[in-house]
Amino acid sequence: MQRKMPSPDATLDTSLGTFRSRIRLRHLHCFVAVAQTQHLGRAGERLGLTQPAVSKTLTELEELVGTRLLVRQRAGTDLTAAGMRFLRHALRILEDVDAAADSLIGADAPRHERIRLGALPSIVPALLLDAVSHFRALHPEVGLAVQSGMNRTLIDLLKADVLDLVIGRMDDPAAMEGLWFESLGPEPLVLAVRAGHPLADNARPTMREVLAWPMVIPALGSIPRHSTESLLARHGFGLPEGCLETADAYLSRLVTQQSDSVWAAPLSATRRAVAAGEMVLLPIDTQGTEEPIGLLRRSDRTLEPVAEAFAEGIRSIAASR
């Protein structure tokens, strides 16, 4: 007698039933903590768990959903496409649980407001620092959670509702789907050296002379890196050997100030050091490297009033420059 195979619908119903009966809030809390910190160890510290306990909980969750949600690497973790989709729902569930708890506490309970902000590393030393300082002076009671990273990473976190607002760049149409971009103005690439560098006294340095010195350049895959390569190609050169490649504006600034390196960077990354007389911009024509930076937000969400107030502060600072 031929055995009857279960239908796909029956198998799906069984899987959903298992997921519904075995999923726990601890799975969601653990997954969200890892997604937000992008690191098992840091997530464990936030949750008061050991790293093996975090790993075990994530494995249980992936078995329940039947697919890989995270890619685990030595340097940290990245969400898969399925993980990004699952994160949206996990956040919404945890928010609903918090809202339910708040409803029991009472409407008169104090509300703890918090803005989750993402920013490109290059805008941290100037624009973001000024915006944060200005906002905290006006709203000291509002929490600010700031995460810096590559543009595409920040966009993914914004779409997943991990961030409320991002100061970043336009991306390709597929990545920008579901997002609004409000330009704050163009951001050119510049070449900077420490004060006292031999090139600083050269009124008209050539690109060949610039490339004779060690280079600090933006990380591979970033828009400033593409602008750097395009600028060099326009002068007939490629990237020299032995470059320091990093998305960390703070490291780039320290290395440049403490060595004879030339730093190729967006203008905002160098602005504060130049204003303080610690760095000098080389008089190299970088016209054509301008890329707009701006505010990114989800098109299906309205910012909370405090987040909108922060955005307005950024607009004012950007306009003054």
pTM: 0.68
CATH fold of the domain at 15-105: Arc Repressor Mutant, subunit A (1.10.10)
Distance CA 158, CA 293 (A): 16
Identify the CATH number of the domain defined by range 114-186+292-320: 3.40.190.10
Average pLDDT across the chain, whole number? 87
User: Is the CATH number 3.40.190.10 carried by domain 189-289?
Assistant: yes
Instruction: Give residue for tokens 């994530």.
Output: 58
CB atoms within 10 A of CB 292: 13
For residue 280, what pLDDT is reported?
96
Query: In DSSP terms, which residues pair with 296 in a beta bridge?
Result: 166, 181
* CB 97 within 8 Å of CB 280: no
Distance CA 255, CA 194 (A): 9
Distance CA 216, CA 246 (A): 8
Torsion of CA 199, 204, 206, 207, to 10 degrees: 70
Shared fold status for 114-186+292-320 and 189-289: yes
pLDDT tens, 179-189?
999 999 989 99
Name the more confident of 52 and 74. Answer: 52
Percent of residues, the chain, with pLDDT higher than 70: 93
Q: State the average pLDDT over residues 279-285.
A: 95
Domain boundaries, the chain: 15-105, 114-186+292-320, 189-289
* CB 115 within 8 Å of CB 241: no
Q: How far apart are the first and last CA of the chain?
A: 81
